[in-house]
Amino acid sequence: MTAERKILLRHADEPYYSPGISSYLAYGGYEGLKKALKRKPEDLRQEVLRSGLRGRGGAGFSCGLKWSLVERKSGKPIYLICNCDESEPGTFKDRQLAHKDPHQVIEGMMIAAYANDVVQAFIYIREEMPLGAKILQRAIEEARAMGFVGGDICHSGYSCDIVVHRGAGAYICGEETGLIESMEGKRPYPRIKPPYFPAVLGLYQCPTIVNNVETLCNIAHIVRMGGEAYAEIGRHGNTGTRIWCVSGKVRNPGYFELETLTMRELLYDLCGGPLPGRKLVGIIPGGASMKILKVDDNFRNRDGRAITFDDIIIDFDGIQAAGSMSGSAGMIVLDDSVNIVEALANIIAFFAHETCGQCTPCREGSYWARKILARMCSGGAREEDVALLYDLAGNIGGRTVCPMGYSITWPVQSYIGKFRDQFEANAKSNTCGVESFAERLIEK
Ligand SMILES: Cc1cc2nc3c(=O)[nH]c(=O)nc-3n(C[C@H](O)[C@H](O)[C@H](O)COP(=O)(O)O)c2cc1C
């Protein structure tokens, strides 16, 4: 029988469990931190490297490798930031972790801090999560009162505090250098890399580690079970579990902590399959900025073997081999009731609203794409608009300071590439019949 493999969410949804420290301690909480403080920071970094843990914030970069790149010889303080901005449409896992098991986040952060000689840690949380900010703040106070955060942690001589920093609510603040600018009190314009790799020149131009909430939650488990044992979970190169958020057209949407499962197992066995009388058409695998996968296409697995949609393995490599990326693990499911042009228009309207405006291709390109899609929805489209839209989208990703440009390029080109007939029909008929929606797309 298909089942989740719960490690991070083992207790979170259980009726016996609360976000308070007593629940956390009752189930072995902070034992990982106590164990870690008896070891050398360098050993812990090696342990995380051995675990194979990849970042859960989007790019899937090796956590151990990221830690190994931190500039330790500059004499400057080292900072740690837990990225709890979680603004990618379709993604709601960090919120669950912060709300339901905040001490797991804090324990992971304190081990990461100790392992990297961090002097001060922060949680950057977006404005739209006021409850999360409150819960985390209360949890930090509880942990501080019990000696797990603050001065002389567990009488080890190591000191590090955590500050909760609330953002003002902008998608771009999830991008690590935009986040750092925002924390410094500036407009969150992402920085150019190089030279501004946070590991070298981050917060206040000091070495800084930015990790996602879920990434950090894994750290205590890695220390408790050991890096090798952790690396046994999942597939080679895709170790550990991952929390997938499924929304859209399935009977049982929600969040699921998975080891290695196929699309069939997730979408049919766990999510109950399509809504009555409907057929699945496509999925956006890792948040709205990722390329769409069409259900009746042919795919490849990571060894190059031909497979069907149902057999795609849901992990970093499986989704990449299928032609997209697992991104933030926010899976949005579309069925045959969805108007594809409208779906794309909705996504592009979001990114056009959220572009920070620093780079011309992203600022202007997202606006033009929204305008073309608005006329495809409301009337006034021209036949050549499909080719125009495709072409303009190709001039955004890769031509901007941060990767956000791809949030226009990938959806537009993959939707048109896979559902061209619907865009052409729309451009010809001049409307997809969703005028009320189209009104929202037009800049007021
Ligand atoms: C436009 C954009 C938005 C992002 N938003 C988030 C976010 O909301 N949360 C997050 O953890 N990472 C986000 N990221 C990725 C971060 O820049 C960074 O890579 C991540 O926090 C690193 O953590 P990890 O190594 O643990 O994955 C975003 C990246 C981009 C380009």
Cα of 374 vs centre of ligand 1, distance in Å, is 29
Atom number, ligand 1, closest to the C-alpha of residue 171: 3
Q: Which CATH architecture has domain 21-235?
A: 3-Layer(aba) Sandwich (3.40)
Q: Is the peptide bond before 194 cis (omega within 30 degrees of 0)?
A: yes
Q: Which of 9-13, 120-124, 300-304, 423-427 has the lowest mean pLDDT?
A: 423-427
Q: Is the pLDDT of residue 434 over 70?
A: no
Per-residue pLDDT tens over the stretch 370-411: 999 999 988 889 989 999 999 999 999 999 999 999 999 999
> What is the CATH number assigned to the segment(s) 241-334?
3.10.20.600
Cα of 168 vs centre of ligand 1, distance in Å, is 17
- Whole-number percent of the chain with pLDDT over 70: 97
Q: Is the peptide bond before 207 cis (omega within 30 degrees of 0)?
A: no
Run of H or E including 378: helix 360-378
Q: Is the pLDDT of residue 439 over 90?
A: no
* The pLDDT of residue 429: 76
Q: How much is the average pLDDT of 333-337?
A: 97
Mutate to test the pocket of ligand 1, among 175, 192, 353, 404 (most ligand atoms within 8 A of CB): 175
**Which long-range contacts link 23-32 to residues 24+ away (Cβ below 8 Å)?**
24/101, 24/103, 24/104, 24/107, 28/224, 29/103, 29/104, 29/107, 30/103, 30/107, 30/143, 30/146, 30/148, 31/224, 32/107, 32/111, 32/219, 32/220, 32/221, 32/223, 32/224
Query: 11, 103, 7: which is closest to 56 by C-alpha?
Result: 7
> What is the CATH number assigned to the segment(s) 340-441?
1.20.1440.230
* The pLDDT of residue 430: 60
Domain boundaries, given as residue ranges, for the chain: 21-235, 241-334, 340-441
Same fold, 21-235 and 241-334: no
* The pLDDT of residue 440: 55
Ligand 1 pocket, 214 CB below 6 A?
Answer: no
Mutate to test the pocket of ligand 1, among 48, 176, 289 (most ligand atoms within 8 A of CB): 176
For ligand 1, atom 28: residue with the closest CA? 175
Question: What DSSP state is assigned to residue 264?
Answer: I
- Exposed e or buried b for every residue in 271-292, given b needs 16+ CB within 10 A? bebbeeeeebbbbbbbbbbbbb
Ligand 1 pocket, 181 CB below 6 A?
Answer: no
Cα of 59 vs centre of ligand 1, distance in Å, is 7
Per-residue pLDDT tens over the stretch 155-171: 999 999 999 999 998 99
Atom number, ligand 1, closest to the C-alpha of residue 403: 31
Ligand 1 pocket, 325 CB below 6 A?
Answer: no
Atom number, ligand 1, closest to the C-alpha of residue 55: 27
* The pLDDT of residue 380: 85
Q: How confident is the model at residue 443 (pLDDT cuts 50, 70, 90)?
A: low
Number of H helices, E strands in the chain: 17, 13
Ligand 1 pocket, 404 CB below 6 A?
Answer: yes
Cα of 387 vs centre of ligand 1, distance in Å, is 31
* The pLDDT of residue 432: 57
Residue 197's SS3 state is: coil
Ligand 1 pocket, 210 CB below 6 A?
Answer: yes
- Whole-number percent of the chain with pLDDT over 90: 93
* The pLDDT of residue 444: 43
Concatenate the DSSP letters of all residues of 137-167 into one string.
HHHHHHHHHTTSSBSSGGGSS--BEEEEEE-
Cα of 126 vs centre of ligand 1, distance in Å, is 13
Ligand 1 pocket, 402 CB below 6 A?
Answer: yes
Ligand 1 pocket, 190 CB below 6 A?
Answer: no
Q: pLDDT higher for 37 or 426?
A: 37
Distances (CA, A) of 408 to 202, 300, 387: 27, 25, 15
Q: Token match 């801090």: residue?
A: 113
- Alpha-carbon Rg for the chain, nearest whole angstrom, is 22
| Token pair belonging to 352 | 């056009």
Cα of 432 vs centre of ligand 1, distance in Å, is 34
Q: How confident is the model at residue 426 (pLDDT cuts 50, 70, 90)?
A: confident
Ligand 1 pocket, 64 CB below 6 A?
Answer: no
Q: How far is CA 220 from the centre of its chain?
A: 20
Per-residue pLDDT tens over the stretch 17-71: 999 999 999 999 999 999 999 999 999 999 999 999 999 999 999 999 999 999 9
Average pLDDT taken over every residue of the chain: 95
Q: How much is the average pLDDT of 214-230?
A: 98
Cα of 229 vs centre of ligand 1, distance in Å, is 27
Q: Which of 147-161, 179-193, 289-303, 425-439 has the lowest mean pLDDT?
A: 425-439
Q: How far apart are CA 83 and CA 293, in angstroms?
A: 28
Cα of 80 vs centre of ligand 1, distance in Å, is 14
* The pLDDT of residue 215: 98
For ligand 1, atom 13: residue with the closest CA? 174
Ligand 1 pocket, 58 CB below 6 A?
Answer: yes
Contacts of 18 (CB under 8 A, 6+ apart): none
Per-residue pLDDT tens over the stretch 242-300: 999 999 999 999 999 999 999 999 999 999 999 999 999 999 999 999 999 999 999 99
Please, are residues 173 and 126 in contact by the beta-carbon 8 Å criterion? yes
